[in-house]
Amino acid sequence: MHNLWIETESRLLTGDSALRVYSSRLLGCDKSLVLHGGGNTSVKIIEKNAFGEDEELLYVKGSGWDLEKIEEAGFSPVRLDYVRRLAQLPSLPDPQMVNELVTHMTRASAPVPSVEAILHAILPYKYVDHTHADAVIAITNTLRGESRIQEIYGDLVVVIPYVMPGFDLARLCAERFPAEAGAHTIGMVLLNHGIFSFGETAKESYERMIKLVGRAEDYLKRSEAWDICWPDVARPLKNVSLDLARLRREISDIAGFPVILARHADTKSLAFAARSDVATISQQGPATPDHVIRTKRVPMLGRDVKDYAKEYGEYFSIHEPLATERKTMLDAAPRIALDPELGMCTIGRTAKDAAVVAEIYSHTMEIILQATALGGYRALPAKDIFDVEYWDLEQAKLRKSGNPAIFAGEVALVTGAASGIGKACVDALLSRGAAVVGLDINPKISTLHKRADFRGILCDVTSEEQLKHALEKAGDAFGGLDMLILNAGIFPGGCHIDALKTEDWQRVMQVNLDANLVLLRECHPLLKLAPRGGRVVVIGSKNVPAPGPGAAAYSVSKAALTQLMRVAALEWGGDGIRINSLHPNAVFDTGIWTEEVLASRARHYGLSVEEYTKNNVLRTEVTSRDVAELAAEMCGPLFAKTTAAQVPVDGGNDRVI
């Protein structure tokens, strides 16, 4: 455990709040202490109220803020005297507790205070820090967890048995802490939950946390339970994309909505999933109650559902999928699936959610094996897990979450995605909640977006091998495919048939037609498994209904692609896949319209470039975004009953009309 406090940095900060932010961020940046919104910190400050009177406030981390990036605005100021009085009540339903906290804040714009605000209030220290330190959790989650903690810390900490976070925990601590704390007490351990430290300064509280967690790490080292060996497991050579898509479809059916499924086939994940005892050690529950909502349950693929019925029958319904031997649970979709071939698959409503689950369970795997090395991992009983998952505060949070984005949990693939219409399609799909895979020969595709729900893959679409490899990467990233936007294409300079070279003709056909045939063929089994049915949008051209001279290769390739779309619509309708085409024209902010090509086509029609860009019935400019927004809508519910349609996006063309 490393002390990250830098004295020269802290001296530049003025005021208790600034130091509270500084030390909170130090805790938050250490993932062995805090993961994704977990943990909380507080400081007690005296301020003047509207009457000029001194008033002691508890500034506690607000809901929705992550310690790693928290700012002063992320702390909720609550009147301390009132909060302490709440701890004296014999009982207080948690929703009412939250209401009392919110209605006794001094800043209306502040976030909802942490549900552990009362616990922070009753601890008689200026600064209070709370983390879910991996080392401490590994020790408490063993058969002799409490006695081990007593052995490690002695009178340095007060030990509190597990109680679900909220009022009941605060009430218990209010009773026990004053009676059990002594002159040497610098912290408190909540069994199966986490650890607190406190002090009169931010530095003191922070350094006590580092000291306490360091003791736990040293204990694991002395017990030969610290270093974990992750054997290098042989990776399957076969393409598992279809397996992932089937699994994603099953889980989506159970959830009742599409989900993102991300595969993790790193050494740690494969080694853990391949353990002979994984069916036992992975099924006992999460490391802390803080992880329950984020990770749910961990189904072992291939595990008999009767095991679940025996273990959790009182709390959960059981579902046996019809089309596969993989087993999971019905009551709520699992967040993690372990398989010796696939490794660890994490599931979420969004790619970000799946990534959060992955990071949490990566730490959980280490905690489980460290606890196993100490004699056996033992998490919370099933009933406690159930109580947290169906905590009325969590249910209220779900009710308030509102409707998800239209494509939440769905996956789209866009070709030619680095610029022009393809890039605009990526943006349109992301804005609607989809996870998007973008393919392009331009290296810029790799850095087009830095976010969990986008993967940019460098790919020459004329290479069948590269296309298949790209689909494997897409499967690993998001688990399947729901939408396919066939956009990649080239538009050579104007050339009449009598001067058209064979190699130029073939090159256009390779990019505009042949590559799309391969993609359609390879994507078909994935699109069949799309929870809401597969959707394909082909970016065609005005040249399909109204070809022009000097564009033979381009016009023919787009016409052939449109005919391919029509045949696919006939063949794939029974699979629930709809496929439609857009025919844009005069979209000049795309990669194929270089200044030279634009000038050439304008000269061909005897127009200036300005006249040429608005040479349509509506005298309007058509942009990449215009095409992309309609492409995205064609994947949505408004076009649910439409297939094989050809829709112009051209401002009106007199030759087409």
CA distance 648 to 277: 59
Residue 95 confidence class, pLDDT cut points 50, 70, 90: confident
| Better-scored residue on pLDDT, 357 or 156 | 156
Residue 332: per-residue pLDDT: 57
| Better-scored residue on pLDDT, 191 or 316 | 191
Residue 402: per-residue pLDDT: 59
Residue 234 confidence class, pLDDT cut points 50, 70, 90: confident
625, 518, 528, 645: which is closest to 582 by C-alpha? 645
Asked, colleague to colleague, whether 7-222 and 241-397 share their fold, the answer is yes
What end-to-end distance do the CA atoms of the chain give, in Å?
Answer: 72
Name which CATH class applies to 411-649: alpha beta
Catalytic residue, from 153, 554, 605, 612: name it. 554
CB proximity list for 441: less than 8 A, separation 6 or greater: 458, 459, 460, 461
> Which phi and psi angles does 318 have, rounded to 5°?
-120, 140
pLDDT single digits (tens) 414-428: 999 999 999 999 999
CA distance 351 to 357: 10
Residue 383: per-residue pLDDT: 55
CA distance 129 to 5: 15
Q: CB 491: neighbour CB atoms within 10 A?
A: 21
| Better-scored residue on pLDDT, 515 or 592 | 515
Q: What is the CA radius of gyration of the chain?
A: 30
Domain extents for the chain?
7-222, 241-397, 411-649
Q: Give me the CATH code for the 7-222 domain, please.
A: 3.40.225.10
- H or E segment to which residue 75 belongs: strand 75-79
Judge whether 130 and 194 are in contact, CB under 8 Å: yes
CA distance 75 to 57: 11
pLDDT single digits (tens) 253-265: 988 999 999 999 9
CA distance 140 to 119: 20
Residue 324: per-residue pLDDT: 32
Three-state DSSP state, 494? coil
Kind of pairing, strands 75-79 and 127-131?
A: unpaired
Lowest mean pLDDT among 348-352, 524-528, 559-563: 348-352
Helix, strand and coil content of the chain, in percent to the nearest 5, comes to 45, 15, 40
Three-state DSSP state, 296? coil
Lowest mean pLDDT among 197-211, 223-237, 349-363: 223-237
The CA distances from residue 91 to 81, 98, 215, 262, 418, in Å, are 18, 13, 36, 43, 58
The CA distances from residue 520 to 55, 434, 467, 470, 559, in Å, are 68, 20, 11, 14, 16
The CA distances from residue 499 to 502, 552, 556, in Å, are 10, 11, 16
| Better-scored residue on pLDDT, 318 or 341 | 341
Three-state DSSP state, 338? strand
Tokens of 259: 């989900």
Residue 288 confidence class, pLDDT cut points 50, 70, 90: confident
Q: What is the mean pLDDT of residues 501-525?
A: 97
pLDDT exceeds 50 at position 486: yes
Q: What is the mean pLDDT of residues 486-492?
A: 92
| Better-scored residue on pLDDT, 318 or 387 | 387
Q: Give me the CATH code for the 241-397 domain, please.
A: 3.40.225.10
pLDDT single digits (tens) 369-390: 999 999 888 877 655 554 544 4
Residue 390: per-residue pLDDT: 44
Residue 591: per-residue pLDDT: 65
Judge whether 462 and 508 are in contact, CB under 8 Å: no
pLDDT exceeds 50 at position 319: no
Q: What is the mean pLDDT of residues 620-626?
A: 95
Residue 18: per-residue pLDDT: 97
Residue 297: per-residue pLDDT: 43
Three-state DSSP state, 536? strand
483, 649, 643: which is closest to 565 by C-alpha? 643
pTM of the model: 0.86
Judge whether 1 and 210 are in contact, CB under 8 Å: yes
- The CA-based angle 325-470-441, given to 5 degrees, is 170
Per the annotation, the verdict on 125 as an active-site residue is no
Q: What is the mean pLDDT of residues 348-360?
A: 91
Q: What is the mean pLDDT of residues 613-620?
A: 92
Q: What is the mean pLDDT of residues 525-533?
A: 97
Q: What is the mean pLDDT of residues 510-520?
A: 97
pLDDT exceeds 60 at position 192: yes
Q: What is the mean pLDDT of residues 333-347?
A: 88
| Better-scored residue on pLDDT, 153 or 395 | 153
Whole-number average pLDDT of the chain:
88
Residue 435 confidence class, pLDDT cut points 50, 70, 90: very high
AA letter at 326: R
| Better-scored residue on pLDDT, 319 or 370 | 370
pLDDT exceeds 70 at position 392: no
Kind of pairing, strands 411-415 and 343-348?
A: unpaired
Residue 590 confidence class, pLDDT cut points 50, 70, 90: confident
Tokens of 342: 């696939």
pLDDT exceeds 60 at position 110: yes
Judged on CB neighbours under 10 Å (0-12, 13-18, 19+), 54 is: exposed
Q: What is the mean pLDDT of residues 630-644?
A: 97
Lowest mean pLDDT among 72-81, 149-158, 404-413, 599-608: 599-608
Residue 296: per-residue pLDDT: 43
